Each structure stands twice: as structure tokens, then as C-alpha cells.
Amino acid sequence: MDQCRGGRVLTAGSSISVAFLRHRSCGWLENSALFFSATDGFRTDLSGKRSWLVASLLALGLFLLGGVTNLYAQTESQPPTVHYNQEPGVPPDTACRLCHGDKDETLALPSGETLDLGVDLTVLQDSVHGQHSATPLYCTDCHQSRERYLYPHAPTPVQSLAEFVDEVEQNCTQCHQPLALHNPGHLQAEDTTNLPGCTDCHGGHDATSAAIMKAEPIATCQSCHATYADERVAAAHEEIVANLGPEQSCLTCHGDQQTTANQQCKTCHGLLQSQLTLASGDQVDLHVDGTLIDESVHGFREIQGTAYMPLQCTDCHKDQQQYGFPHPQLTTDTRRNLTLEMESICQECHQDIYQRQHDGIHGVKQAEGELSAATCFDCHGNHAIHDPDDPRERVSHTCGNCHGEINEQYAQSVHGAALIGEDNPDVPVCTDCHGVHDISDPRTAAFRVNSPTLCGGCHADKVLMAKYDISTDVFETYVADFHGTTVTLFERQSPDQETNKAVCYDCHGVHNILPATDEHSQVIKDNLLTTCRQCHPDASANFPDSWTSHFQPSREHNPLVYWVNLFYTILIPTVVGGFALFIGTDLYRRLWERRS
Amino acid sequence: MSEKAQTYRRFDRWQRIEHGLLILSFTVLTLTGLPQKYSMTYWGSALIWLFGGIEVTRLIHRGAAILLMLETIYHAVAVSYKVLVRRVRLTMLPSWRDIVDGFHAMAYNVRLAKTPPRMGRYTFGEKVEYWAVIWGTVIMILTGFMLWNPIATTTFFPGQWIPAAKAAHSGEALLAVLSIVTWHVYNVHLKHFNRSMFTGAISHHEMQTEHAAELAELDAGHQPAPIATAVLQRRQRIFYPVAIVLSLVLLVALYLFVTIEQTAITTVPRQQVEVFTPQTPEASP
């Protein structure tokens, strides 16, 4: 018959079978039902009295046998664990299939819903629990309540479809782990009204294997989660789903295991590739490579024997109002303002440095409204923070990001060339002269009058300068000279007052310092007059010679000065010694006269 | 008036004023000069600080230098008047006898001579001091000019003269100060306090011990011959215009000394460089 959906399966011929099902959890046998099993011809011959009688007797006999067996089973603690089929090769739920496989009726439930009584046996057969699977189930494995599913079925007590499903789903745990362990995410949802049961995801009669589900996981989830209340969450999910890798699915974030906030942040922002557009039109990258942090100074580290774990996203992005999920709409208008707002994050751990930075020129300029003034991030980066002076050259590039022109000058200088070309460990990098966080304004009088001491820090260091065969007289001779004396006194006594006396960099250049032997050097003989005329516009051609060129006077260098000095070195003791001798003798005479 | 109580006039009022100016300028020059020479010592920088900083110290030093130069000009005119118009004896000129007196005094001190030297109006010690001041002042004014006007100087002379001038100015200053605190202080303050530079006169006893030869001359009645009024007036008629013109020339020279040169500009030019020249897009927030 065309309408008999179970016909394809049940072609073994007209027979009556009694199913003895083994209860999987405790092993007792249950005579769950007596089914009629018949061929297509059965119905047509149903009026035949002989057949009916034979069938009835057989059924009765078997029923009784079943009852005895059942009694036996209940008295025995160790019942046989085998399927009992009266006719080997015929499934025990043949009767269920026969009836429900060919039904299009529905059962009206008190809730007003209707329960479809038909079962698509093809679907059932192809399901993960189907007869072709490794673990075939019979109808009564799931619909196992003796009272309910014993034929003829008692009226169902369930009030609604949900209750019916719940009841059936109770049985899933016989083989599978409880829902609470398997899918904590759903159970922890705040809104508990629409929680899915096992069958909502895995299907009922069409239960899908986990492997297939994993192959098409998104579709499974999207059967419920097709839309989102928050349109930004929807957009984010759309993008994330589109960017999921081969090993990733909804479960990457919403898996069985409870994920930390850190993992959630990293997964989501690792998958996001788009930009967030701020009110000003500025765009902010949403993508964050989570590995950057682990590899950064905030990653796995061992400091003095103590191993440190990487910072968590939420260690910095701490404010739940702002960083809790779903994130509130960002109200910051520009990218720069976003950077500025975030700067205070660093303060929590780096309070001291943060304060110094804010006392420094960048902080002061920022307070004055100069938004481009460097923040922590501008120099250190954000997620990929690495040691700022490893290699030392890095410092120069960091500062050069904003101070490009100056950095270019520096790169050409004797210091910069040695740093960038040779990775020289001794030449000053930006921070050696300007300081690190509390960088002072180099345009102030204080910086200027202090600068010779700054240069002297290296150029008066005999050990250091010996490596490069540079005279350390430069500092002493400068201080001994008119310019240097004045500047040094200013430095000591009135550091905030401007002086017009030259400091090192007035002659040697600021960032573009060249070796004094370089043909372009401002201080080489040919260029010295021009250099002097910066401050002494009327300087004569001989005027530069009045500068002792950092040489201590000697017979070779500045001989006239040497001879004058020598003259007075001899004259003064001679004259004063002569006076003292005469005074001494006079005193002697007086003392002698007084005594005698 | 008994012989003992008699005093002998030694310095007139103008000379005493000159000495006062010299005390003032020399003291100020010393107090503002030595700290510059020893500016890196504690006491040196402390003194500079007391004067109000190195720039103020230099200003005071130069002010005192102007005073000393004015006094020098006056002294030149005053001495010229005495020498050219009044034709006084050149008692301050050093002579062979001063050297003999010096050795004699030394010999007397160490008891190799029985009697001290009998000296005239100015003893060898006083001449040393006077000529030391003259020598020193000339050196200081010349080297001071070079330091004050290095560009003007190097227009005509080698550049190295400037640091050499500084060395000389510095050495000479030390020599002058040490001479004053040894020779001058001992001879007129410690040995006994010779008040003649303030009172204008010395006692008979002082004349006897220090200027025995001059006292003997005075006692013998040697007096400079009076000058005939007509002669004096004739000399004055020549002297005054010449002196006035020369004084004016010297004063103009002094004015130029002070003002001829603007050595340096007052504000050092700053290097002009664009500070903020971002090379890469700003850091990601």
C-alpha cells in the first residue's frame, strides 16, 4: 500500500512479534508492548476469522510468556542482557514503526498545540540513531515509559509539546551526559524561557551525528539564533561567522567549556577584521591579534626568577560599563580622543611613570590642548609593547615617528650615524639627552644652561672618550673659558635665566652634530667664522682665533697664552716671595730689638 | 711747638682723594674680579651670587674699571702739572740708591748692618708700590680693553691675544692683590699704622725712622726755590690748554673703550626646526 510508510522495512511477511526490550540503564526486561506485525496482505485479510483467531491465541500465549519472563526478570537481579525477539531479524519496535510510520493524524494537546503522530521512518532510519548507525536505537529506547507507550496507549498526561519533548529528553541522559554539563552556556542564560532542549539542536527522529553537526555547526545554531536583538551584535556576528576558520564555529566562543572574558575578547577581536567608524569619520581597527600580547612585555615573562603570566585583556580594559559585552555604543568622536581616553589605563600599574610623563613636555602640551602630544601608546604601542630600547636604535625610530625632521638630522650626525649604522652602545640616543618620561622642554633657559653638563656627562668621561680617542679637555676648557664660565654660573645660580653665551650645541649643532674634523662641521676652521658670527655678527677674520679650540694652552696650541701663564707663574711667586722675605727679615729685626 | 710734636706734610687733599678713589676702585675690582678668576670655587661663586650673578658682577667690575681709568687720567694730568709746571723734584723716580737702600735695609734686618738706611722722601718700598700700581694699571687697562672689545682688538691683532690678555689680566690681578695684602698691608698697617694718607702728615718720629735723609734736608733748610709768578703763569698758559685737550682726548678714548663694540648679540638665535613632523600614522587606539 502506498500509504504504508513502514512497508519497505517490514517485508518479512505476516507475523506477530512481541518486543522484549532491554532497559539500557538497569538491564531489566520490559514487556513493553504487544504489536501486531503484518504484511500488506494482513489488512486485507483482517476479516478472516482463522487468521484473527490464530493471531489472538498466539498473542495471548506470548503475552503470558512475556509476563512470566518479566516476573522472572524482576526476581533475578541479573537478567539476561540480550534482545529478545521472538522472530530473529525482526526489530522489536516493528509495531511502533508500523503504526506511526503510516499515520498522518495529530493529537490535540491541552495547550492547544498539536502533536504530530506520524513518524518519517526514512528520516529516522537515516538519523544518528537509525538502523544503519553503529548504535541503533529502537523507538522504545526513547519512548520508554511503560504506562504510556504500552499498547493500547494510555491518554497522554502532557499538557504541551514542550512537556512532551522534555519528557522524551529525560531519556537522552541514559546515554549522553546531562545537558547541564554538555551545554552550560544555554543554561546560564539570564532569560530561561526559551532554553533549548537536546532535540532542539540535535533533532528528534532526525537526530544528527555530532560529526555532521560540527561540519555544519553554524546552521544548527542559526536555527534558533538567526536574528539578534542588538543590531551591532548582529553585524559583529555576521562578520565573525564569515571569518570563522576551518576549525572554528559558534562553539569556539559559545562552547561547552566556560570561557574566560580574556578568551572571549581575543576570539571575537581576533576574528573581526573590520573597522569601527567614529563620529568624525575616523576608523578604528577592531582586529586584535591576541598573540601580540603574549609575545609582548606583558606576555609570558620571567623577571628575577619569577614567571609572570600574560596580562588579560580585562586587566587593562577593565571598566565593565565600557568593556562589558555587548559593548555600549562608542561615543568618542575621533581616533585621537579614543587614544587619549585610554591612556589612563597604564596609570594603574605604572603610576610613577605615568605621573612623570604628565609632568613632562608631552603631558604639559597635552594638558594645554595639544592633542598630538605623545601618549604612552604613541611611543610604546598598545598590544605589541616591546622593550623600547631593544635595540637602542629603536628609541630613535620611536621618537622619529613624530619628530621626523629632527630624527633625520640626528641620523646624519656623528651620534646618529654610529647608532643606526653600527649599533654603537655609547652614543646618545634621544632619551639620553632629553630624558625619558619627564622630558623637559629643550627650549627653556634651564635646558640650555644645563646642556654643557649634559654633553660633559659623556665628553668629560675619560674612560668612555678614550675608546674614541676624544679629548676630555673639551669640558674643562669650555668651563674655563668666558662662555663656559658664564653658562656654568648661570646653571648654578640662575638656571631659569636666559644667557647669550654659547653652549656646546650653539657651535657644534644641535641634532646635526658632526665630528670637528668633518668638512661640513660648523666648528672646523673654515666654517668657524660663520659660526662665531651667529652671535658675534661683527666678528673679524682673526676673531675665531680668540677661541682656544678646547686646547689647554701649550707650546703647540695657544702658545702666547702658555707663555703669559708661565710668565705669571714665575713672576707672582718671585715678587710675593721677595716681599715675604723682606717682611720676614723685618719682623726678625723687630723681635730681636724687643728682646734685647 | 716742640720738635717731637712737629708733623710733616706728606699728602695734600687731592692726593688723599686720589688714594680714596684708588681704594674704592681697587677693592671693588678685586672683589668682583677674583671671583671671576676663581669662579668654580665655592667662595668665588658665592661672591658672584652675592653681587647678583655673573652678569651683574661683570657690570660692577667694569664700572669700577671706569672709575680707575678716570682716576688714572686725573693722576696723569696732576703729575704732569707738578712735573711740567711746578717743576718739582722727581722724588718718585727710582734710582740706583733705592736698590742700595733695599739691600741695606735687608742687611740691617738680619743684623749685618749696624744702622738702617737713611732714606729720602720716598723710600724704596714706597717706590716699588707706586710703580707697581702704575705698571699694573697699565697692564690691566690694556688687557681689559682687549677683553672688553675682542672684535676691535682682533681687527688689528691676532686672535690669540684675547685669551693671552685674559691670562695676563688674571695673573696681573693676582699679583696686584697679593702685593697689596703683603707689601702694602705690612708696611703701612701692620708694621705701624701710617695714617698719613688720611691725615696728610706724619710725625717727627716717623720722619726720623723712615725718611731720615729727607728730615735732614728739611732741617738743613733745603726748600724748593719759589717760582716767580710770571714764570708760573706762562707755564700754566701753555699747560692748561694742552692738558684740557689731552684730557678730552683721553676721556673720548675712555668713552670709546666702553662703547666702541657690541661684542655679541643679546639673544642667541635658536635653531629653527619643525618639531612635529609625524612619519607614520598615529598609533592605533
Rounded Cα distance between B276 and A185, Å, is 51
A325-364 pLDDT, tens per residue? 778 888 899 999 999 988 888 998 999 999 999 999 999 9
The distance of A589 to chain B (nearest Cα, Å) reads 5
Closest CA in chain A for residue B260: A538
Residue type at B219?
A: D
Closest CA in chain A for residue B276: A403
The distance of A534 to chain B (nearest Cα, Å) reads 7
Q: What SS3 class is residue A396?
A: helix
Q: How would you write A480-529 as a 3-class SS string?
A: HCHHHHHHHHHHHHCCCCCCCCCCHHHHHCCCCCCCCCCCCCCCCHHHHH
pLDDT value of residue A103: 80
> Is A534 in Cβ contact with B277 (below 8 Å)?
no
B231-254 pLDDT, tens per residue? 999 999 999 999 999 999 999 999
A395-415 pLDDT, tens per residue? 999 999 999 999 999 999 999
The three cell numbers of residue B254 are 675712555
B106 contacts in chain A (CB < 8 Å) = 582, 585
Average pLDDT over every residue of A297-315 = 87
Mutation target among A376, A478, A489 for the B interface, most CBs of B within 10 A: A489
> Is B274 in Cβ contact with A405 (below 8 Å)?
yes
Rounded Cα distance between B54 and B33, Å, is 11
Nearest CB partner across the interface for B182, out of A336, A536, A579: A579
The distance of B17 to chain A (nearest Cα, Å) reads 27
Nearest CB partner across the interface for A592, out of B111, B161, B285: B111
A119-138 pLDDT, tens per residue? 888 888 888 888 777 778 88
pLDDT at residue A152 above 90? no
Rounded Cα distance between A388 and A380, Å, is 7
A546 contacts in chain B (CB < 8 Å) = 150, 154, 159-163
> Is B163 in Cβ contact with A546 (below 8 Å)?
yes
Residue type at A553?
A: P
Rounded Cα distance between B202 and A93, Å, is 153
The distance of A376 to chain B (nearest Cα, Å) reads 10
pLDDT value of residue A9: 31
Residue spans of alpha helices (H) in A77-173 = 94-100, 121-126, 139-142, 146-149, 161-169
φ, ψ (nearest 5 deg) of residue A446: -60, -45
ipTM, two decimals, is: 0.94
Counting one residue from chain A and one from chain B, the pairs whose CB atoms sit within 8 A come to: 204
pLDDT value of residue A131: 74
Mutation target among B49, B54, B161 for the A interface, most CBs of A within 10 A: B54
Cα–Cα nearest to B92, from B137, B51, B132: B132
Nearest CB partner across the interface for B285, out of A339, A565, A582: A339
Q: CB of A186 within 8 A of CB of A195?
A: yes
pLDDT at residue A530 above 70? yes
CATH of domain B91-220: 1.20.950.20
Residue A77: CB atoms within 10 A of its CB come to 8
Rounded Cα distance between B33 and B174, Å, is 9
Confidence of residue A43 (pLDDT cuts 50, 70, 90): very low
Considering chain A, what percentage of its residues have pLDDT values greater than 70? Answer: 82
How does DSSP classify residue A22?
E
pLDDT value of residue A461: 95
pLDDT value of residue A320: 83
Tens-of-pLDDT digits for all 285 residues of chain B? 455 678 899 999 999 999 999 999 999 999 999 999 999 999 999 999 999 999 999 999 999 999 999 999 999 999 999 999 999 989 999 999 999 999 999 999 999 999 999 999 999 999 999 999 999 999 999 999 999 999 999 999 999 999 999 999 999 999 999 999 999 999 999 988 889 999 999 999 999 989 999 999 988 888 888 889 999 999 999 999 999 999 999 999 999 999 999 999 988 888 788 888 887 655 555
B53 contacts in chain A (CB < 8 Å) = 489-490, 493-494, 497
Confidence of residue A82 (pLDDT cuts 50, 70, 90): very low
Residue B79 vs residues A218, B82, B92, B196, B254: alpha-carbon distances, Å: 118, 5, 11, 19, 19
The three cell numbers of residue B45 are 661663586
Closest CA in chain B for residue A586: B109
> Is B159 in Cβ contact with A546 (below 8 Å)?
yes
Average pLDDT over every residue of A549-569 = 95
> Is A497 in Cβ contact with B182 (below 8 Å)?
no
Contacts of A189 (CB under 8 A, 6+ apart): A195
Q: How far is CA B3 from the centre of its chain?
A: 36
> Is A547 in Cβ contact with B159 (below 8 Å)?
yes
Q: Which of residues 87-126 of B touch A (CB under 8 A)?
A: 102, 105-106, 108-111
Nearest CB partner across the interface for A534, out of B106, B261, B269: B269
Q: CB of A555 within 8 A of CB of A562?
A: yes
Closest CA in chain B for residue A397: B279
pLDDT value of residue B273: 85
Residue-range domain boundaries for chain B: 9-85+236-263, 91-220
The three cell numbers of residue A86 are 521472538
